[in-house]
Amino acid sequence: MKKYSVAVVGVGAVGCEMLRVLRQRKFPIKNLRVFARSSRNITVDGITYHVKQISPGGFRGIDIALFAGTEGEKGAAVTYANEAIIRGAIVIDNGADFRMNKDVPLVVPEINPKDIKKHKGVIANPNCSTIQMVVALWPIYKKAGIKRIIISSYQAASGAGRGAVRQLIDELRFLSKSNYQDLKIKQKYQKALPQQLAFNVFPQIGVFGELDYTSEEWKTVRETHKIMHDDKIKISATTVRVPIRTGHGEAIYIETAKRITPDAVREIFEKAPGIKVIDNPKESSYPAPIDAEGKDEVFVGRIRKDPFVKNGLWMWVVSDNLRKGAALNAIQIAELLIKK
Ligand SMILES: NC(=O)c1ccc[n+]([C@@H]2O[C@H](COP(=O)([O-])OP(=O)(O)OC[C@H]3O[C@@H](n4cnc5c(N)ncnc54)[C@H](OP(=O)(O)O)[C@@H]3O)[C@@H](O)[C@H]2O)c1
């Protein structure tokens, strides 16, 4: 079997999960280089990786560069993706910097694997909350069409990176010291998030923009249109941060073009790739983030019809945001690339 030289850029929440998934899926690696802003050794699942300080020359000889660095102007992908490409690598980027560019395919392998053929050096991985939603909705879309989606997501701290998880843990430690007398923290922590997360939820992920929706909410809309190649679907989202370490939950309401029953949806899901149905409400059996952490599937439950709208359906969708929402999806794209 041919082996490949692979670079992982970033060793935060997603980068470490990348290292774990590469090993678990036995990706055929000839050479592995790990980059971040500074060099040091890190340990993931008992294995020590030497992290090198990122530099353009570091990408020499790399076939596939998996980017999981911070987004934005001074972020890893904007600064170094092109350096990797001119040295012969194909970049798979986890951030939002290139996702909506016309010549950058935005790929979820269960949905639009053929789009990777159109790449010109960069393939983008969609946003975590978008990936799990489209994996669940695609089989229904193919069978019955979808005209409308209303989604409320309940997103874990790790979706905002390792700093947000640290903030949640620090807040919980602080509150435990006072035996939870006063649940509002007045003391200032290093803030990775815009609000206290312990014993709290808040409806802000990203920054507020057009029509008072947040950037995360717009990602759900625009990325879904691009991945499903259908910008006629009416989508609106509310994204909420919740005090969970890993695993996003989503309450999703859809209106289908053709009528479809909850039982028919369950049957479609049984055959759909990457989906596991847990739907026995009478036994309190439904997906929960704590059970999804570390797993690959998108879990679906609470499938039920709208009592008033003929083609309306609800479902509850949970997945590990660091795996299918980021590292796993990116590595599945890499697997598709090498298969071709
Ligand atoms: N967390 C999720 O659920 C999730 C899901 C989908 C997509 N994403 C995207 O994945 C990316 C990584 O997110 P994360 O949650 O892993 O963030 P994170 O935990 O904050 O880690 C960021 C990593 O990026 C490195 N980095 C930052 N700027 C860099 C630069 N200029 N050059 C090289 N490395 C740089 C940091 O290096 P140092 O360690 O040296 O500081 C750190 O290792 C982001 O674009 C994010 O939007 C995240």
pLDDT of residue 212: 98
Same domain? 105 vs 232: no
The token duo for 61 is 């000889």
Distance 283 CA to ligand 1 centre (A): 39
Same domain? 108 vs 201: no
Q: How many domains does the chain have?
A: 2
Distance 219 CA to ligand 1 centre (A): 18
Q: Is the Cβ atom of 168 under 6 angstroms away from ligand 1?
A: no
pLDDT of residue 327: 98
Q: Alpha-carbon distance 215 to 58, whole Å?
A: 33
Strands of 146-155's sheet in order across: 234-241, 146-155, 248-256, 312-319, 298-305, 275-277
* For the CA of 162, the nearest atom of ligand 1: 19
Same domain? 167 vs 78: no
Planar angle of CA 332, 334, 340, nearest 5 degrees = 105
Residue 80 φ/ψ, nearest 5 degrees: -120, -10
Strands of 29-36's sheet in order across: 40-44, 47-53, 29-36, 4-9, 64-67, 90-93, 122-124
pLDDT of residue 1: 87
CATH number of the domain at 89, please.
3.40.50.720
Rg (CA), the chain: 20
Same domain? 227 vs 243: yes
> What are the residues facing 155 on neighbouring strands?
241
Each residue of 93-115: pLDDT tens digit?
999 999 999 999 999 999 999 99
Same domain? 213 vs 165: yes
Is 229 marked active-site?
A: no
Same domain? 119 vs 88: yes
Q: Alpha-carbon distance 205 to 129, whole Å?
A: 11
Query: Which residue, among 64, 142, 130, 120, has the nearest Cα to 96 in the 3D structure?
Result: 130
Same domain? 152 vs 83: no
The token duo for 162 is 């390792």
pLDDT of residue 188: 66
Same domain? 117 vs 153: no
Q: Residue 182: helix, strand or coil by DSSP?
A: coil
The segments of the chain whose pLDDT lies below 70 read 187-190
Locate tokens 């934005």: which residue? 72
CATH number of the domain at 186, please.
3.30.360.10
C-alpha distances (whole Å) from 23 to each of 2, 5, 27, 114 are 16, 14, 7, 26
Other Cβ atoms closer than 10 A to 207: 9
Q: Could you tell me the sign of the dihedral formed by the alpha carbons of 262, 106, 274, 9, in that order?
A: negative
Q: Yes or no: say if 34 and 19 are a contact pair by the CB < 8 Å rule.
A: yes
Each residue of 1-34: pLDDT tens digit?
899 999 999 999 999 999 999 999 999 999 999 9
Distance 14 CA to ligand 1 centre (A): 7
Is 16 marked active-site?
A: no
From 9, 49, 70, mutation site for ligand 1 pocket: most ligand atoms within 8 A of C-beta: 70
pLDDT of residue 108: 98
Q: Which of 16, 50, 119, 128 is catalytic?
A: 128
Q: Residue 274: helix, strand or coil by DSSP?
A: coil
Distance 271 CA to ligand 1 centre (A): 34
Whole domain around residue 83: which residue ranges? 4-125+326-339
Each residue of 288-313: pLDDT tens digit?
999 999 999 999 999 999 999 999 99
Query: Which residue, among 221, 170, 176, 210, has the nearest Cα to 193 in the 3D structure?
Result: 170
Same domain? 106 vs 229: no
| Axis crossing angle, helix 128-144 with helix 262-271, rounded to the nearest 10 | 110
Q: Alpha-carbon distance 234 to 232, whole Å?
A: 6
From 21, 33, 37, mutation site for ligand 1 pocket: most ligand atoms within 8 A of C-beta: 37
From 8, 9, 11, 14, mutation site for ligand 1 pocket: most ligand atoms within 8 A of C-beta: 14
Same domain? 181 vs 300: yes
Q: Is the Cβ atom of 79 under 6 angstroms away from ligand 1?
A: yes
Same domain? 66 vs 119: yes
Q: Residue 11: helix, strand or coil by DSSP?
A: coil
In the chain, where does DSSP find H-type helix? 13-24, 76-86, 128-144, 162-177, 215-228, 262-271, 289-292, 328-339
* For the CA of 11, the nearest atom of ligand 1: 43
Containing 42, the helix (H) or strand (E) segment is strand 40-44
Q: Is the Cβ atom of 95 under 6 angstroms away from ligand 1?
A: yes
Same domain? 188 vs 112: no
